[in-house]
Structure formats: structure tokens, C-alpha cells
Structure 1
Amino acid sequence: MILLGFDVEEFDMPLEYGKSLPFDEQLAISTSGTIKVLDVLKAAGIKATFFCTANYAIHKPDIIRAIVEKGHEIASHGYYHSDFKPKHLKQSKLKLEEISGTPVTGFRMARMMPVDEAEIEKAGYAYNSSLNPTWLPGRYNNFDKPRTWFYDHNVLQIPASVSPLIRIPLFWLSFHNLPMPLIKWLCGDAYKKDGYLNLYFHPWEFTDLSDKDKLGLPGYVTKNSGEPFINRLKDFIGWAQAKGYTFGRTGDFADGINGR
């Protein structure tokens, strides 16, 4: 099974590069991308998981309800994208459940940063997908962590997929910068080895990010953004379906492992 996860958040990445983007515009860019993603998933007939910040959901409840109505899963991406306190774990879960009208059983930490697993368990999550088991300069070095699912504090950990052996990350930046034939080969290798893939993206990647004066984003982020990225996702989904791979929601995958 292929697990597609989309981190729906206030688009605050330009702030990391010294740019000021009004909050309404942060929401608008993420919303535009989310609508595009929903269209792609509908056309392909597949379901996915949307890891949302409570802050986004509070301001865009109609989008959260649209995600649910289309059969996708809502999971937590924290309360705010750039502010975290342990109490936000439970608070975001409750707020997202209130807005979506569905149980929220999964969590992903913003920017895949470390999070106290005891607090994850305490907040009542069944699974956590906050680990990228590779090395990303300036972010993290997780070469010593398991590549595939495991348990920590009674919470199922579902790391982002990486290739076997040298652990090339199979995440959003790879889909922007690597040739699609190489991505497919690496994903096929990991799928054969692990029996599943856990891939994550952000809806704002599916919008045009080329305005460097306004957004300040580096080329390795903006490359193939917007329509080219939509086409890349469509191409990947088509390739996977032709291979006979199935797609599913992360929570359903976790339930299967947890025996629910």
C-alpha cells in the first residue's frame, strides 16, 4: 500500500527566508494547493491522509469538511506550524475532531522535528509519522532509527519512506529535484523491500512558487512547483496503479498493524 500524506498548514516557509507573507495569503496558498490535490486524488480514485494544523482548520473549516466528505483522513499536524508546546498535542486533536466530525488518531510534527513519544501516547494518538529516517543537513540525522514501522511508548511509528541501504529520502524535495524515472525506481525498490511506501508532501508545492522577490524560496524548493508538480504526482500515481500498487489512508494502514 502507498500512503500519501499532505501537510496542510499556514504557509509560513517564506518567513524562514526573511520574507513577510500576510496570514490570509498563507492560508490562500495552502488552500489553493489543497483543492488541486483533492482534484488529482478524485480523478485517480484514491484516498489519502491530510495532516492539518488546528490553526489552519479553524480558519478554513470548509476545506476540512470537504476533505472528509471526499473520504480522506484528517490527522494532526500540531496546533500551529511554527509554535509547539506539549499541550498542543491534545488540543489540536480535540479541535480537529470538533471541526472535522471524525476521530483523529494520527500525528505528524511540523518539519519532522523530534517530539516526546510519551506525550504523544498521553494525548491519545494511535500512530505518529514524524520521523524521516535519513540525514537532512541542518534538520536532523536519523540514520540510527528504524527505516520501517515500529512501536515507541505504545504508539505505532510510521517513518517516511527512504530507499534501502543508503536511505535516499523519498519525500517532497526528492519529487521536486530527482528525475521521475529515478524516483519510480527508488520507490519500487523500497516498496518491494518494505511492502508499503509512506510519502509526504505539502499542498503549497502544487502552486506557483517562482516569485523569489515575494517568497524568497531556494531553487531546490521551487523547482517543478505548481502545474509541473501536479503532473509529477499524476505521473507517479499512474505508474503505481499500473504496477498494481494500492493506495490508502495512513490511519487504515495503522489499524491493520494494530489489529483494529
Structure 2
Amino acid sequence: MSSEADRSSWHPDSSPVIDGRGRNVMPPSEDESSDLQLSRVDALPGDAEFGLCLTHDVDRPYKGLRSLYYATQERPEYHLRTALSSSNPYWQFGEIMQLEAELGVRSAFYFLNEQHLLTDRPASDWLSPSNWVQHLGRYDITANEIASVIKALDAGGWEVGLHGSYHSPDDPDRLREEKHALENVLGRPVTGGRQHHLRLTVPDTWRHHREIGLDYDTSLGSTTECGFHGSYRPLRPFDDEFLVFPLTIMDQALPDPGTSFEEARRTCEQLLTEAAENDAVMTVLWHPRYFNEQEFPGHRKLYRWLVHRAQELGAWVGSPGAFCKELECEAEQGLHAQTTERSIDRTPETVHTESVGGQQ
């Protein structure tokens, strides 16, 4: 782990930010006229050894008709039973809240306001099978059950954020509408989120996020590989207060903890160790449905272990929104301390001397 002096003087090197598929996502800008500067956060909240940001993308809180599709792939008896049952194995909000409360942490839940394929999308989209898959299981954030969960999460200290819909990365008007709709349910401003399927146009999507009033985005990353991909700290792509939290771990990119728990745990341990050694900020994504032990055995246990292990290693643990707030508060406190120090330096004796000097 680097020293405190190293931490305060940490600066970005000349290496590009690489995503999990080896693509050069965001090269450093050498054009001084460009507003894409690739600076990085140079501090961590408090005296933390490193940071762990916890996030959940609420893609499909209802399994529903998807059970029929899964029944054609594996365990047909189980999936058909869940299709006909009144229980919903994907509704894991209470379980996640209880687990995190026991660990003394809070995370971010990003809610998706997907467009309706038949009423909101052009007829040409109806011809694409992939679009039908994307819209299968769409939910309404204004429905009583969903709205109640959103308000319960907020009341309990969890962050509620925006999960930008599939067609929104290049559509700022659509993003703004989705943000306003979620804020109307929540009753307060939304400050950040992640694009569905990590769909991202750099830097345009981030610029859209900033323009509609978001403070951060967590879409930079990979759906297939875990790792830091070139950046140990959140990025400041416009060299201002807007932050990008690169995604370190997505649940589906890990070795399956249901069949290879120790391998999945070792992967997490290696990344935690790398984070601690480099004063890094890890961002992890666990979809709520993965907390259902019947369909995704081992994932809940692994998530609990990950958070507990990070705490043992001295990590700051929380949501990206909480991370942003703590940095802002510490910056304000630092500015206040500097102002107070300058005031103290101007002692009465100094002021008198200056006054006498001015009379001479």
C-alpha cells in the first residue's frame, strides 16, 4: 500500500483506460482545447485504506414469462413451477436490505424505466428478436409495489439511482425523462446511475449525464472480465466534479460460485488485495436476482464475504453517491480549515503593525 505522501501526490500516468475486452475506451487527451481531460480522484474518504462501492442494477424484479424460456435451457421442472407460482424468486429487496443492514453498509439500487416496445418504439424495432428479449419483463417504476420499494430503500439510507434504458445512451431527452420520472417517485433528486448493459458512448453519454444533473456514472467496465482495466480511482473526464466509477466486478463475470465457490472467492480476494495495495476504489455490481440461492447458489454468500473481507482490510464501503458526498464534505471542511487558519494568522499584533505602517 502506498504511503500518505504517495496518496496525496498521486497523478494519472499516460496509460489509456482499457475495458474488459481489451478495447481502448478513453485515451488521455493531448488536445488542450478538449474538455475530456482524464484526471482522476486523488483522495479517499477519511482514513480508508481503499474504497468499495456497492451497486445493484434492477433489471427484472419479476421473473414471470422468462421462466418459460429458462425451462427450455435447464431444470424445466423448477422453472415451470416458478412460472405458475405466486411467489417471485427475483424479488430480493428485503433480503438484500437485511443482509447489508447486518453488515452495517448501504448500497445503490439503479432502477430501469425501459420503453414499451409496442407503444414507445418505432415499428421497425418490432422486427428484431433481440428487441423483444430486451423488453420482455419490463416493469413500471410508478406501480405501487415498485414505488413502495423505492421509498423504503431511500428511507433506510440506501441510494436510489438511474439505470439508463437500452436506447438512452445517445438520447439525452430520453435520459432526462427517465430521471424526472424516477425523481417523481422518489421525491428527491437522483444523483447518479449506470447505463443498461453498460452501453456507453464516450464521452457523449457522460456529457449527457452531466447536462441532466447527474454527479456520476458507473457504466465503464466489462460484462465478461473482472479487473481494474487501467484505473484505480474514479475518473474526472471533464476535469470537474463529475465522476466516473469504473466497474471492477459484475456478478456474471465471476467464476460461478455455485460450482466453484473457492475460485470465485479467490478472484475477489485478489482484487481486494490489489485495491488495498494501490489505494484503489472498487465498484461491484450484484443484480438483485442473484441473491436468490435456489437459482444462483453461492452468490449471496460470496457477496457477504466480499463486504466483510473489505471491512477487515480497512475499506470505506458504501454507495457511489455516498462516496461523492463524503469527498464533497471533506473538500468543504478543508476549505473551511484553510480559511480559519488564514484568519488566525492575522493576529491583532499583525493588524496593528500593518495599520501603523499604513500611517507612516
For the pair 1:156 / 2:235, whether they are aligned, the reply is: no
Identical counterparts, % of pairs: 18
The 2-side partners of 1:93 and 1:77 are apart by 9
Long gaps (5+) in structure 2? 1-50, 71-78, 114-138, 257-262, 333-360
Structure 1, 47-56 or 4-13: larger mean CA deviation? 4-13
TM-score by length of 2: 0.54
For the pair 1:128 / 2:213, whether they are aligned, the reply is: no
Superposed displacement of residue 208, structure 1? 4.8
For the pair 1:72 / 2:171, whether they are aligned, the reply is: no
Q: Select 1:105's aligned residue among 191, 194, 202.
A: 191
User: In structure 2, what is the equivalent of residue 5 of structure 1?
Assistant: 55
Judged with a 3 Å threshold, the aligned counterparts in structure 2 of structure 1 residues 68 and 4 are, in CA distance, closer, same or farther, namely same
C-alpha contact 1:149 1:158 (8 A) present in aligned 2: yes
The 2-side partners of 1:52 and 1:76 are apart by 5
User: In structure 2, what is the equivalent of residue 96 of structure 1?
Assistant: 182
Query: What's the RMSD between the two structures over aligned residues?
Result: 3.4
Deviations 1:50-105 (A, max 9, x none): 11123553231111111112101111002x4x443432311121122221223211
The 2-side partners of 1:136 and 1:104 are apart by 28
Judged with a 3 Å threshold, the aligned counterparts in structure 2 of structure 1 residues 56 and 34 are, in CA distance, closer, same or farther, namely farther
Paired amino acid for 1:121:
R
Corresponding residue SS for 1:189 = helix
Judged with a 3 Å threshold, the aligned counterparts in structure 2 of structure 1 residues 124 and 247 are, in CA distance, closer, same or farther, namely same
Corresponding residue SS for 1:77 = strand
Judged with a 3 Å threshold, the aligned counterparts in structure 2 of structure 1 residues 119 and 183 are, in CA distance, closer, same or farther, namely same
Paired amino acid for 1:238:
H
Deviations 1:31-52 (A, max 9, x none): x222221111011111111111
Give matches, 1:182-201, under 5 Å: 182-201=267-286
Larger Rg: 2
The 1-side partners of 2:173 and 2:294 are apart by 33
C-alpha contact 1:10 1:56 (8 A) present in aligned 2: no
Give matches, 1:23-102, under 5 Å: 28-30=88-90, 32-54=91-113, 55-59=139-143, 60-78=146-164, 80=165, 82-84=166-168, 85-102=171-188
Paired amino acid for 1:120:
H
The 2-side partners of 1:41 and 1:72 are apart by 10
Corresponding residue SS for 1:90 = helix
Paired amino acid for 2:312:
A
C-alpha contact 2:55 2:107 (8 A) present in aligned 1: yes
For the pair 1:254 / 2:336, whether they are aligned, the reply is: no
Give matches, 1:227-242, under 5 Å: 228-242=298-312
User: In structure 1, what is the equivalent of residue 251 of structure 2?
Assistant: 172
Corresponding residue SS for 1:107 = strand
Superposed displacement of residue 151, structure 1? 2.0
Corresponding residue SS for 1:57 = coil
C-alpha contact 2:92 2:291 (8 A) present in aligned 1: yes
Paired amino acid for 2:247:
A
Judged with a 3 Å threshold, the aligned counterparts in structure 2 of structure 1 residues 45 and 257 are, in CA distance, closer, same or farther, namely closer
TM-score by length of 1: 0.73
Long gaps (5+) in structure 1? 162-169, 211-224
Superposed displacement of residue 29, structure 1? 4.3
Superposed displacement of residue 118, structure 1? 2.4
